[in-house]
Structures are given as structure tokens and as C-alpha cells.
């Protein structure tokens, strides 16, 4: 696999273009060498006085109209709007969350988060979500792991990041994520497409696509990306 699998990024627009072209773009290093934002952004754009990949995440989500979340081994990845329905269908094994609960295969500790998110027509700030669904210390302990698990299953996506500002209006600190279900975030476009195929067919479609853009990558690595 070539180390120069992706071009060097210089702006959020460069990343938006690539997400829409490739369909899948991990944020951090992974088993596919050279296939991540972390490896292809100039060092001067990380943790500097100018905006870089950390600050671009929210604008990228909006400009690309894509999904973003912990979709790869509990690490962040962008998935294009075109490919996210197939990706979610496979990860969900064809079940919407209500069906998962009806079948008794949903994890009880995740249900409060999903019930809250499914009751909303828009996104919610993570700290507000936590306050609403974690009435005690024990539930707060499992909140982050449940949220990560639900993202891996593609029942939850990140819609934006909200930053604190100092008295001069300058952004500081880490962005606080806003979350929603894909159904609420993408609307009819997602709902109409997510269960169009059998889960294994969605997996096959994604694998065929990834082979076309990562032709030198062993299939076992591509399968790990799919999950």
C-alpha cells in the first residue's frame, strides 16, 4: 500500500471533496496505511493558532452532509451521505432500534439514550443528553461507553461541535459534540434507503466500492473497516 494513498489536505473543503469521492474517511491512523486525515494534514495545522482538522469537523459535517462518529473501532470516521444508509443497514443487521428492543437484543443500558434521541426532531448537546438520561452516578459511568457503542451500530451520529468562547469572542477548548439519530439528522433521504437491501448485500456493495478505490489493500483490512 502506498504511503501517499491520499493527497495532502490544506482546508476543510479538501476533506469534504474527498469524503464525497471516497465515501469513507477515518480521522485517525488505522490498519490501512496512509488512509486517514491524521496522516495527510500538514503538521502546522494541528494544535496551532490557525484552524485545522479539529476545528474543521463541524463545518465538514455540514458542508459534506455526511455522517461522523465513532464508526471504526470506537474511533472517528466520516461516511458520506451516499454510503451511510448501506453502512448503517449492515451495522444494524437490518434492525431499527424499536425492532431491536422488541426482539430483546438491545442492551438495556443503551435504551435510555436511544429513547431520548428518538423523541427529538433535532440534535442535542452531549452534556444535556447526559444530564437527561443519567439520574445517578452508576448511569453516568456507562454513558460514554453506551454512546460509543450506539455510534458503532450507526444508531447515533454526530451533527456538529459547539465551542466555548472567551470574552473577546475567541474560541477555546475542545468542541462539545451534538448528537442525533441518523433518522432525525438526515430525514427521509436516510429512512427511505437504510433498509433497501439485505444487510449482507449492503456489506457486499460497500466492499466492492472500497476495492475500487483501495485496490492495493488486502480484503481482510477492508472488512475490518466495514466492521
Residue 4 covered by a domain? no
Residue 38's domain spans which residues?
12-226
Residue 78 covered by a domain? yes
Q: What is the CA radius of gyration of the chain?
A: 18
Residue 196 covered by a domain? yes
Residue for grid cell 431491536: 100
21 and 14 in contact (C-beta within 8 Å)? no
Q: Is 126 left (phi over 0), alpha (psi -120 to 50) or beta?
A: alpha
Residue 38 covered by a domain? yes
144 and 110 in contact (C-beta within 8 Å)? no
The residues near 153 (Cβ < 8 Å, ≥ 6 apart) are 91, 92
Residue 138 covered by a domain? yes
pLDDT tens digits for range 105-132: 999 999 999 999 999 999 999 999 999 9
Q: Please tell me the predicted confidence (pLDDT) of residue 164.
A: 77
Q: In 3D, which of 158, 117, 113 has the Cα closest to residue 139?
A: 113
Residue 6 covered by a domain? no
pLDDT tens digits for range 169-194: 776 677 899 999 999 999 999 999 99
Q: How many domains does the chain have?
A: 1
Residue 7 covered by a domain? no
Q: In 3D, which of 158, 192, 148, 170 has the Cα closest to residue 62?
A: 158
Query: Which stretches of the chain drop beneath a pLDDT of 70?
Result: 1-4, 48, 171-172
Sheet of 157-165: strand order equals 124-125, 171-180, 157-165
The total number of residues shown for the chain amounts to 227
The β-bridge relationship of strands 171-180 and 75-79 is unpaired
Q: Is the whole-model pTM more than 0.95?
A: no
Helix (H) or strand (E) holding 68: strand 67-72
- Cα diameter, the chain: 53
Q: Please tell me the predicted confidence (pLDDT) of residue 57.
A: 95
Q: Let me know if 103 is exposed, middle or buried by CB neighbors in 10 A (0-12, 13-18, 19+).
A: exposed
Q: Please tell me the predicted confidence (pLDDT) of residue 3.
A: 52
Residue 199 maps to which CATH number? 1.10.10.10
Residue 82 covered by a domain? yes
Amino acid at each position: 500500500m502506498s504511503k501517499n494513498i491520499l493527497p495532502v489536505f490544506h482546508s476543510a473543503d479538501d476533506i469534504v471533496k474527498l469524503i464525497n469521492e471516497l465515501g469513507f474517511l477515518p480521522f485517525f491512523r488505522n490498519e490501512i496505511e496512509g488512509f486517514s486525515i491524521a496522516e495527510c494534514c500538514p503538521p502546522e495545522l494541528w494544535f496551532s493558532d490557525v484552524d485545522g482538522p479539529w476545528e474543521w469537523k463541524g463545518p465538514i459535517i455540514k458542508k459534506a452532509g455526511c455522517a461522523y462518529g465513532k464508526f471504526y473501532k470506537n474511533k472517528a470516521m466520516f461516511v458520506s451521505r451516499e454510503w451511510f444508509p448501506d453502512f448503517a443497514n449492515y451495522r444494524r443487521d437490518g434492525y431499527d432500534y424499536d425492532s431491536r428492543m422488541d426482539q430483546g437484543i438491545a442492551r438495556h443500558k443503551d435504551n435510555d439514550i436511544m429513547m431520548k434521541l428518538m423523541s427529538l426532531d433535532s440534535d442535542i448537546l452531549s452534556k444535556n443528553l447526559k444530564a437527561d438520561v443519567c439520574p445517578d452516578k452508576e448511569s453516568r459511568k456507562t454513558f460514554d461507553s453506551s454512546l460509543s457503542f450506539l455510534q458503532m451500530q450507526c444508531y447515533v451520529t454526530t451533527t456538529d461541535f459547539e465551542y466555548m468562547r472567551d470574552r473577546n469572542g475567541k474560541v477555546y477548548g475542545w468542541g462539545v459534540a451534538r448528537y442525533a439519530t441518523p433518522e432525525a439528522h438526515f430525514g427521509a433521504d436516510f429512512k427511505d434507503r437504510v433498509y433497501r437491501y439485505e444487510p449482507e448485500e449492503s456489506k457486499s456493495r460497500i466492499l466492492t466500492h472500497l476495492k475500487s478505490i483501495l485496490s492495493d489493500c488486502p480484503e481482510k483490512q477492508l472488512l475490518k473497516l466495514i466492521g
